[in-house]
Structure 1
Amino acid sequence: MRLSVLDQSPILTNTSPTQALQQTTELAQFTDRLGYHRFWVSEHHSTKSLAGSAPEILIAHLAAHTKQIRVGTGGILLPHYSAYKVAESFRVLETLHPNRIDLGIGRAPGGLPNVNLALNNGKHPSIESYPQQVKDLMAYLHGHDPYEMNVYATPLGETAPPVWMLGSSGTSARLASDLGTSYSFAHFINGYGGTRAMKRYEEHFAPSLQQSHPEGNVSVFAICADTEDKAEYLASSLDLALLKIEQGEKREHFPTADEAARYPYTFFEKERIQENRRRMAVGSPSQVKKELETLASDYGVNELIINTIVHPFEERLRSYELLADEFGLSN
């Protein structure tokens, strides 16, 4: 089974945005050496606890500082942008790093509602035009002129980055199958309904100019440590972070496990944390491997994208290292 990485450039307690992006770079280089397949970075706007606001810029940097791992976006929020401009940006990236670039796309706002207005000259983007945008994007990426205006996304080349449609619902699965893109389900966002969405995608997939058969993967939170107790301790910080995000609290940093240990949880908050654990695999290497293999089997995929947010950063590196050893990854 392939393992890949989703990194959101979290800003940990007592670290700066500069350090968060430096950590993303170090993690990309580290997981490249360990044998991970992809490294995707996300797009979030006006979010003080996440440093990744321009993934197309960040992956240019990451590709230049790694050797063989695929790098990509998880994802570009297409309704905010011109499909033609996105295609040209990724044609440049593909020309610089042939067969190493992935173009993950989504239609979420990437932040609070006012982000939509700030990114679209005071207007709300048209979600209804998203399917056509995806069609245009794929056409431009593959050297076509969809509106017959003698307009092409340059530089032209023999290879094109694959489009991955990101989603956390059946709607995105239907669209990915109809348009013939690859499909990535965000289990770390929604722990329900993903297996049905993936099955629907595979059963109704329509071949496209990009690919002839369905290709899917699943992203999930995973926290691995040498012992179960240590993994649970580290995961408590993510438990608290997710709880506070759901409660609408704006934080400038992700909390530490010590902060989580001191937090006075109510009964209902503890119940919510257990519910959120559906989105995570936590434990020793053997425990996490078993959970991940079960998840992959349930979804019918052979690739999982691992999102690990723990404090300190060294424990994040260690978690990915333990998983690589347990799964026998190698270059």
Structure 2
Amino acid sequence: MKLSILDQSPILKGMTPHEALQQTTELAKLTDELGYHRFWVSEHHSTSSLAGSAPEVLVAHLAANTHQIRVGTGGVLLPHYSSYKVAEAFRVLETLHPGRIDLGVGRAPGGMPNVNLALNRGKLPNIEGYPAQVEELMAYLHGQDPHGMNIYATPKGETSPMVWMLGSSGTSARLAADLGASYSFAHFINGHGGIRAMDRYKNYFSPSMQQSQPNGNVSVFVVCAETDEEAEYLASSLDLALLKIEQGETRPHFPSPDEAIHHPYSMYELDRVQENRNRMIVGTPKHVKESIEGIAEKYQVDEVIINTIISPFEKRLQSYRLIAEAFELTPSSV
């Protein structure tokens, strides 16, 4: 089974955005050496606790600082941009790093409602046109001229970035199937309905210029430590962060475990924390391995993407090391 990473460049307490991006780079280098399959970065706007606002720029930096791990976006929020421009940006990345670039796309706003207006010169993006936009994007990436205007995405090349459609619902699954793209379900966003969505994707998949068979994976929050007690302690900060996001609270950083332990939870908040655990795997290497294998079996996929947000940063690195050891990943020989 393949293990991959989604990193959102979280800004931990006491850290700066510069340090958050440095940590993402260090994590990419480590997981490349450990034998992880791919490393994706996200797109979030006007968010004080996440540093990744331009994933295509970060992908270029990470690909240049790693050797064999696939690097990509999780994902570019396509309705905000020109498909042609995105295609050319990723054709450049593919030309620089052939066979290593993924282009994950989504249609979420990526921030507060006004972000839509700021990114689209005061207008709302055309969400209804998203399916046609993805189809247009795939055509440009594969050297086609979808509108017959004698325009091509350059630089041309023999390989193309793999397009992944990201989603947390059955609607996105069906769209990925209809267009013949790969599909990634965000279990870390929605802990329910993902198995049905993946089944829908596979059942309705139509071959495309990119691929002849369905190809899916699932992403989940994971916290791994040497003991259950330490894992629970580290995961408490993520529990509190998710709760505050649901409550609409804006924070300049992700909370520390000490903040979370001393937070005066109401009964309702404790119920929400427990519900959000459906989006997480927390425990020792043995438990985490069994749980990751279990979720892969339920989704019927051979790849799970891990998203770990804990502090301090050294514990985040250690979590990925423990998981790599549990799965006996093959370290890079480079």
Shared fold, TM over 0.5: yes
User: 1 CA distance for matches of 2:263 and 2:147?
Assistant: 57
Cα deviation code 1:243-277 (max 9, x no counterpart): 00000000010000000111000111001000000
Deviation at 1:34, TM superposition (A): 0.4
Q: How many residues align?
A: 331
Matched AA of 1:269 = E
Indicate the residue corresponding to 1:318 in structure 2: 318
Q: How does 1:93-242 map to 2 (within 5 A)?
A: 93-242=93-242
Matched AA of 1:303 = E
Task: Classify the secondary structure of the residue corresponding to 1:94.
Answer: helix
Deviation at 1:318, TM superposition (A): 0.2
Matched AA of 1:223 = V
Q: Is the counterpart of residue 34 in structure 1 residue 34 in structure 2?
A: yes
Cα deviation code 1:69-99 (max 9, x no counterpart): 0000000000000000000000000000000
> Please, what is the CA RMSD of the aligned residues?
0.4
Matched AA of 2:294 = T
Cα deviation code 1:176-204 (max 9, x no counterpart): 00000000000000000000000010011
Indicate the residue corresponding to 2:299 in structure 1: 299
User: 2 CA distance for matches of 1:15 and 1:288?
Assistant: 28
Deviation at 1:219, TM superposition (A): 0.3
Task: Classify the secondary structure of the residue corresponding to 1:306.
Answer: strand
Deviation at 1:297, TM superposition (A): 0.4
Task: Classify the secondary structure of the residue corresponding to 2:211.
Answer: coil
Deviation at 1:295, TM superposition (A): 0.5
Q: Is the counterpart of residue 11 in structure 1 residue 11 in structure 2?
A: yes
Deviant stretches of 4+, over 3 Å? none
User: 2 CA distance for matches of 1:237 and 1:86?
Assistant: 35
Q: TM-score, normalised by structure 1?
A: 1.00
User: 1 CA distance for matches of 2:125 and 2:93?
Assistant: 26
Structure 2 residue runs without a partner (length 5+)? none
User: 2 CA distance for matches of 1:330 and 1:241?
Assistant: 33
User: 2 CA distance for matches of 1:224 and 1:66?
Assistant: 24
Matched AA of 1:200 = R
Task: Classify the secondary structure of the residue corresponding to 1:118.
Answer: helix
Cα deviation code 1:210-242 (max 9, x no counterpart): 000000000000000000100000000000000
Indicate the residue corresponding to 1:272 in structure 2: 272
User: 1 CA distance for matches of 2:171 and 2:217?
Assistant: 16
Among all aligned residue pairs of Structure 1 and Structure 2, give the percentage whose two residues are the same amino acid: 72
Q: TM-score, normalised by structure 2?
A: 0.99
Indicate the residue corresponding to 2:82 in structure 1: 82
